[in-house]
Amino acid sequence: MEFAELIKTPRADNVALHRPFHPAVEGTLCLTGHHLIFSSRRRDNAEELWLLHSNIDSIDKRFVGSLGTIVIRCKDLRIIQLDIPGMEECLNIASSIEALSTLDSVTLMYPFFYRPMFEVLEDGWSSFLLEQEFELLSSVTNEWRLSCVNKEFSVCPSYPPVVIVPKSIDDEALRKVALFRHGGRFPVLSYYHKKNGMAMLRSSQPLTGTNGRRCKEDEKLINATLRSGRRGFVIDTRPLAVAQQARAKGGGFEQEVHYPQWRRIHKYIERFNILQESFIKLVEACNDQSHNMDRWLSKLEASNWLTHIKELLTAACLAAQCIDREGASVLVHGSEGTDSTLQVTSLAQIILDPRCRTIRGFEALVVREWLQAGHPFQQRCAQSAYSNSKQKWEAPVFLLFLECVWQIHRQFPCSFEFNEQFLILLFEHAYASQFGTFLGNNENERAKLKLPQKTMSLWSWVNRPEELSRFQNPLYEANSLVIWPSVAPQSLQLWEGVFLRWNRPSKFLEEAEEERINIIKYNKELQAKVNALRRQLAELETDGEVPEEE
């Protein structure tokens, strides 16, 4: 298919661009296969806006006389307005944008056409391999092994080809366990707590059904992670009633009789469609320009967004507490094990593992616990909060995770190597990107699409020193401790950086960040100068044959 067929009017002049907190700009609008490009004509202050079609969530058009107006709502929550003279031009452009922003085929997406303008220093597609992770693990324990049972994606289509499982469980047993778990997602290692040797596993629900089916291999697998005489916790992200209902459809939960060493805790985390509704309501509240405080607070409350944040953080803290404080192993699952499960396991690692609070470690966490673990990014991020069409599989599951990280970051502003911008970057790229990283729903699909060969990885770009420097937290001081956030409502705040990003003048906050960077930078420069002088002095002093009396 040719993109040109979809572009009825490739160019329009005398278009006015309106954005909040910016004066209107007049310029030329161009449509290409993947971008909407607006360039102002003014010589003195040439300005270009490049917008990926895949970033467009919905568009509206309206006419006053022959002047058409298109309102574009983006997946990164920005809203822009274009005034286009000429009804036909406007209609053509609107329908072109509509067509180009809703392409069905993945292989038509921009990442397949994008050619990087930078030199690739390190291929991000091979930056985070589970094999490397396992190597690190092997240096502290030999109770685990790398299994290739899923190398053809035959045992579990949503798992990566290699997984880490208890050493005592062979591949044959894993195949049996896979049949006992929803979607074949048998329990695998998510995190190993070096401090006390406790493990966090994740899986999907067991298929016990109404007649209480059991699977000896499943029991053996998870029991293999327990120390003798100790118990473990199963954290089920559904309420008990839902878990019980699931039995009617063949699902279920671990019953005490068959798992006597495990204690089950139900911590309810909302399902994806509820989350999407909440997301839409919140964004609507944030775009309400009314001056009424009551209305704002009641809309904020009615969106329930912060409630979901609180629930999620609480569940993650609980999992972390079981591991670190109770010295117990933990198995986390909900129904499919691809959404709330991953939120809990990845957040618990942020709390427990200092490595996950570094840039590299956080990237590894996103790769391991989200991409490789089979979170269906393509389904979940197909539409954002402005979508008009009826939702199918969309949900801000990953965004919620990022926001929880931000909440913890806010409480421990010196313990993270990355800054808020880094989290926002991941949010943007999960929804629309020139990179192939977040395409596909799991490793299986990514392999079929040949993403590593045909597209560029986000990590290849982001890990270049000049990019990395933008995402560094100037206040970072490595903190080797477990960090326990407060989940009290007083401690949680709306993530302005995402939800009010386009609705507030950001200048003052950016200036503050700049100030912080400068203070630290100046300090480091002085430190370096002083050290250099000290060395120079020491050399001079020894050269001068003055006896040292230090």
Q: Residues 230 to 289: which contact other proteins by CB under 8 A?
A: 230-231, 263, 265, 267, 285-289
400 near other proteins, rule: CB under 8 A: no
Which of 43, 115, 291, 390 is in the footprint of other proteins by CB under 8 A?
A: 291
Site for other proteins in 403-422 (CB under 8 A): 410-415
Minimum gap (Å) between residue 330 Cβ and other proteins: 12
Residue 249: which residues within 8 A CB-CB, separation 6 or more? none
541 near other proteins, rule: CB under 8 A: yes
Distance separating alpha carbons of residues 432 and 438, to the nearest angstrom: 9
Alpha-helix runs per DSSP H in 49-198: 87-100, 130-138, 171-180
Q: Which residues of 299-313 are buried (b: 16+ CB within 10 A; e: fewer)?
A: bbeebbbbebbbbbb
Minimum gap (Å) between residue 430 Cβ and other proteins: 24
- Cβ proximity of 235 and 265 under 8 Å: yes
Helix, strand, coil % in the chain, rounded to nearest 5: 45, 15, 40
Q: Which is nearer to other proteins, 227 or 249 (CB)?
A: 227
Burial grade of 297 (CB within 10 A; 0-12, 13-18, 19 or more): exposed
23 near other proteins, rule: CB under 8 A: no
Radius of gyration of the chain (CA): 26
Q: Which is nearer to other proteins, 179 or 519 (CB)?
A: 519
148 near other proteins, rule: CB under 8 A: no
Helix (H/G/I), strand (E/B), else coil: 267: coil
Q: Which is nearer to other proteins, 25 or 487 (CB)?
A: 487
At what angle are helices 272-286 and 293-303 packed, to 10 degrees? 170
Which of 321, 346, 384, 460 is in the footprint of other proteins by CB under 8 A?
A: 321
One character per residue 512-531, x = contact with other proteins (rule: CB under 8 A): x--xx--xx-xx--xx-xx-
6 near other proteins, rule: CB under 8 A: no
Closest CA to 172 of 190, 185, 155: 155
Which of 327, 355, 468, 501 is in the footprint of other proteins by CB under 8 A?
A: 327
Minimum gap (Å) between residue 296 Cβ and other proteins: 4
508 near other proteins, rule: CB under 8 A: yes
Q: Which is nearer to other proteins, 39 or 244 (CB)?
A: 244
Site for other proteins in 440-499 (CB under 8 A): 475, 477, 479, 481-484, 486-494, 496
Site for other proteins in 212-231 (CB under 8 A): 230-231
Minimum gap (Å) between residue 477 Cβ and other proteins: 7
Which of 5, 48, 104, 294 is in the footprint of other proteins by CB under 8 A?
A: 294
Read off the DSSP letter of residue 548.
P
Minimum gap (Å) between residue 324 Cβ and other proteins: 8
Which of 64, 117, 257, 293 is in the footprint of other proteins by CB under 8 A?
A: 293
Q: Which is nearer to other proteins, 47 or 288 (CB)?
A: 288
Distance separating alpha carbons of residues 369 and 383, to the nearest angstrom: 22
To the nearest 10°, the Cα dihedral for 419, 424, 430, 432?
A: -130
AA identity, residue 223? N
328 near other proteins, rule: CB under 8 A: yes
Q: Copy the structure tokens of residue 210.
A: 């109404």
